[in-house]
Amino acid sequence: MEVEKKQVLVDKDLSNEKKNNLPNFFLSIKFKYVKLGYHYLVSNAMYLLSIPFLVMILAHLSTLRVEDLFELWDHLRFNFLTVVLCSASIIFMITLYCMSKPTKVYLVDFSCYKPKPSHKVTREQFLQLSAACGCFTEESLAFQKKILEKSGFGQMTYGPKGLMKIPQDQSMAESRSETEMVMFGAIDELLSKTGVNPRDIGVLVVNSSLFNPIPSLSSLIVNRYKLRGNILSYNLGGMGCSAGLISLDLAQHLLQVHPNSYALVVSTENITRNWYMGNERSMLVTNCLFRIGAAAILLSNRSSDRQCSNFRFSVTEVEAGNNQSLPCVL
């Protein structure tokens, strides 16, 4: 009996090993390509369904003789109802094609804010200010110096006024002042370059991952430029470095359903409020790599802007479903 039990256990172990050795098709298939294929199939379903009818019509036309074509022409000349039905069918097909065709979105222009020379700070000044605040150990200061030397930054970068003081000012008022300066500076330059009237902007998307005051940043822009009352205004936060692309994608989708509109996308990050005052190395990296700045982008779905635009908007892809991509920022 014991031998039989051992034999049964061995057989079960072998069967489990065989099951474990079976290929996992869910891991071998790139489901994002399946999703893209399904999206393409659904988006072009009308054209794919029309192919069999087109083949049937062409096959029938190939059997016609010249005499048949003359008879068909005479039939159309003397039958007004047939002419009306054919014309209505053609107009209906053209209208259906135009309605199903996705709206093209263009990047008219963009602007990156360049601070005033008074905001310039050298590497040495940065390290002196970090040492003067009394929050960092000698090891942390040496680590920051090493990061600065290998970051690829120039000798001088732009820093916020609140952090260039002793003691440093990280108040909400100083943080708001920094954000308003960079946002309004970028938008002013963009509107000056494009000549677009702020009242013509129908969509506004602002993103700032860590600084989200009340009233919101998008509300500050609406108030500053007196944008119209029915504007679609969005304020995104907490999305990290991908927030800029997410904002553009949101603006593109909104322009698909709001014809003849402009979309203003503003991307920035606040340094004053989110300066790290500790000694954890992974957190100190952000102190060395982030500086003040903002970007303003103007998108349009107007066909008249095609010639003067720099780019045509393409496509974005979300990688948050990938377990290797999600924790990369942590």
Give me the residue spans of the domains in the chain.
106-118+172-283+293-312
Residue 190 to residues 146, 179, 193, 266, 269, Cα–Cα distance (Å): 36, 17, 5, 11, 18
CATH annotation of 106-118+172-283+293-312: 3.40.47.10
CB 244 within 8 A of CB 207: yes
In this predicted model, what pLDDT tens digit does every residue of 257-283 receive, in sequence order? Answer: 888 889 999 999 888 888 888 888 888
Q: Is the pLDDT of residue 61 over 50?
A: yes
- 3-class DSSP state for residue 312? strand
Question: Is 121 exposed, middle or buried, given 0-12, 13-18 or 19+ CB atoms closer than 10 A?
Answer: middle
Q: Is the pLDDT of residue 191 over 90?
A: yes
Q: Enumerate residues 6+ apart whose C-beta is below 8 A from 251.
A: 105, 203, 205, 263, 265, 299
Q: What is the pLDDT of residue 70?
A: 74
More confident call, 177 vs 17: 177
Query: For the ranges 133-137, 240-244, 277-281, 313-317, which has the lowest average pLDDT?
Result: 313-317
Q: How far apart are CA 84 and CA 62, in angstroms?
A: 25
